Amino acid sequence: ADQHTQISQYRGVVTLNNGVTMPLLGLGTFRLRGLQNIIKAVDTALANGYRSFDTARVYRNEADLGCALRQLLPLYGLTRSDIFITTREACLQSLEELGCEYLDLYLIHWPGRQGWKSDDTRNAEARKEAWNAIEDLYKAGVIRAIGVSNYTESHLEQLLTYCSVRPAVLQVEFHPQLPQTHLLRWCQENGVHLQAYSSLGCGELLGKEEVKKVASTHKKTPSQVLLRWALDQGVGVIPKSCDPDRIKDNFCVWDFKLSEEEMQAMSVNEHQQKFCWDPTGVA
């Protein structure tokens, strides 16, 4: 039996294009620092049903996250194969820091090379080299699924011309003020799972009238309806928080659905707004 069947019994999952099962909702750990804070956050997450954790080498918390998981998993009767870990950047160092033998999902974080100008045409060649390197790790069984983050449609089209393993996941900023309709359609047509970061628009969307109105209709919080807005489109989410109440609230999104009208009302806006980085200028 597949040691990873446990995740497929978990609430709210997606099967990626290579057959790997991934939870649709995970805990983002950006800006989560300090072992005690991480233990508290992971403990709350596991207690409330989270089985997916999103980190990165650049977050400088992988060692503490690994330590927290080793300490807490046995207390919940769980093992490494019950959870899903996503990271980026230096794969082998990440494995060492996390204390894992494999990663569930590895993402190329950005379509450009650090220190290079966006319009530097060498970026395309650097992307190709990076993809070839992670394909090797994937084929060696060190990573169970591979993907990219912050790629535009043209970056993805380029990738499909040379990859021997198609990307399983694209992680981008995605929320009602940046609905990325074309990109979502491209992903659906090409068998790539879209995963959202900044689902709450860096907190800016929580106070929007349309969002608050839909939240009160469902007796939910604004953050819960913003997460549901993505989930109802088949898009995964990784809300980040170190607050136990918020971590708990963010997982209570499985008992309601938004209507088409509510989804549209939330995304009616005369201007699209990006709260994070803009990859559109990267050559």
Question: Is-contact 73 93, C-beta < 8 A?
Answer: no
Please identify which residue in the block is written with the tokens 């309601």. Answer: 256
pLDDT tens sequence across 91-132:
888 999 999 999 999 999 888 777 777 887 888 888 999 999
**CA angle, residues 151, 109, 266, in degrees to nearest 5:** 60
pLDDT tens sequence across 161-209:
999 999 999 999 999 999 999 999 999 999 999 999 999 988 889 999 9
Q: Domain ranges in the chain?
A: 5-200+236-242
Alpha-carbon distance of 257 to 50, in angstroms, equals 19
Between residues 161 and 31, the one the model is more confident about: 161
Is 0.75 surpassed by the pTM of this model?
Answer: yes
| Rg of the chain on CA atoms, in Å | 18
pLDDT at 274: 78
Q: What is the dihedral of CA 237, 241, 243, 246, to 10 degrees?
A: -20
Per the annotation, the verdict on 59 as an active-site residue is: yes
Structure tokens at 159: 């990738």
User: What's the mean pLDDT in 224-253?
Assistant: 97
Mean pLDDT of all residues belonging to the chain = 92
pLDDT tens sequence across 43-90:
999 999 999 999 988 878 899 999 999 999 999 999 999 999 999 988
What fold does the segment set 5-200+236-242 form as a domain?
Answer: TIM Barrel (3.20.20)
| pLDDT of 5 strictly over 80 | no
Q: Say whether 109 counts as a known binding-site residue.
A: yes
Question: Is-contact 177 201, C-beta < 8 A?
Answer: yes
DSSP string, 214-256: HHHHHT--HHHHHHHHHHTTT-EE--B---HHHHHHHH--SS-
90-99, 252-261, 262-271, range with the lowest pLDDT: 262-271
Which residue from 135, 171, 140, 142 is spatially nearest to 155, judged by alpha carbons? 171
In sequence order, the β-bridge partners of residue 213 are none
pLDDT at 271: 65
| pLDDT of 141 strictly over 80 | yes
| pLDDT of 269 strictly over 90 | no
pLDDT at 2: 45
Structure tokens at 22: 């991934």
In sequence order, the β-bridge partners of residue 13 are 23
Alpha-carbon distance of 264 to 109, in angstroms, equals 30
pLDDT at 135: 97
Residue 21 φ/ψ, nearest 5 degrees = -95, 130
Q: Which one of the listed residues 50, 59, 106, 151 is annotated catalytic?
A: 59
